[in-house]
Amino acid sequence: MSPRIHDPDLDSSSGRPIVSIPRGWGTLLFITLCALGFFIGAAWNLYRFVHSAPEDATFTFLMGLAQLATFFLILWCGWGIPAFAVFKDGIKFDRRRLARKRSPANIWSYGFCSWDEISRCHWSPFQPGQLSVYLNPDGYQPSGLLADREKRPALALGMMISQFIPAPYREAVEKAIRAAGKWDG
């Protein structure tokens, strides 16, 4: 398996990642089986549309179209969005974290961290292949007792995101992060 590496000198408006790691086969199989359920439901509703009474035809046709659209959406999200990617303007993780100043309607916004949010990255000394990405503490507010500003001074707490990188991709990921100036190590 060779890493998907794109030329970093590409036009930044293309939105193509410099390095991308696809999802594992188990995840892709699960996504495909879920999508297949919607496809079978769509086929059944469209079959019922052809062989049903006129008063039920509109509902079954619309249900079939909705299930068919859901089938394609699940396949597009599952197969089209990588598990991990390094872009010119940040890193995309396979997490449900919504990036700052991004629309929740944009699927690519989830798990995205811009280079402004990232303070440093390095390989974990304890687990081989584990990438540790440290986010800047600004904008990250602790909750509970630590958030009481009257009693305690502001704490410089950041957040660390850990991501396993398979061996064939490690060199390319490190090179792309070094090019962004965020590599610490």
Place of tokens 């949010």: 117
Q: Is residue 148 part of a domain?
A: yes
Residue 122: pLDDT band with limits 50, 70, 90: very high
Check residues 176 and 56 and name the one with the higher pLDDT.
Answer: 176
**Cβ pair 131, 162 in contact under 8 A:** yes
What are the pLDDT digits (tens) for 25-65? 888 888 888 888 888 888 888 888 888 777 777 788 888 88
Q: Which of 78-82, 116-120, 121-125 shows the highest mean pLDDT?
A: 121-125
Q: Is the pLDDT of residue 145 over 50?
A: no
Say yes or no: 124 and 168 in one domain. Answer: yes
Residue 123: pLDDT band with limits 50, 70, 90: very high
Cα 80 to Cα 53: distance, rounded to the nearest angstrom: 39
The confidence score (pLDDT) of residue 130 equals 92
* 116-121-126 Cα angle (round to 5): 155
Q: How far apart are the first and last CA of the chain?
A: 26
Residue 92, helix vs strand vs coil? strand
Q: What is the DSSP letter of 160?
A: E
Task: Enumerate residues 6+ apart whose C-beta is below 8 A from 10.
Answer: 16
- For range 131-142, the mean pLDDT: 70
Q: Is residue 139 part of a domain?
A: yes
Query: What is the domain extent for residue 32?
Result: 25-80
What are the pLDDT digits (tens) for 100-117? 666 667 666 677 888 888
Cα 92 to Cα 102: distance, rounded to the nearest angstrom: 13
The confidence score (pLDDT) of residue 107 equals 67
Q: Is residue 60 part of a domain?
A: yes
Q: Is residue 17 part of a domain?
A: no
Say yes or no: 75 and 127 in one domain. Answer: no
Across all residues in the chain, what is the average pLDDT? Answer: 76
Cα 19 to Cα 7: distance, rounded to the nearest angstrom: 9
Q: Is residue 12 part of a domain?
A: no
Q: Is residue 13 part of a domain?
A: no
Cα 178 to Cα 122: distance, rounded to the nearest angstrom: 10
Give the global pTM.
Answer: 0.64
The confidence score (pLDDT) of residue 99 equals 62
Strand 19-21 to 112-114 pairing = unpaired
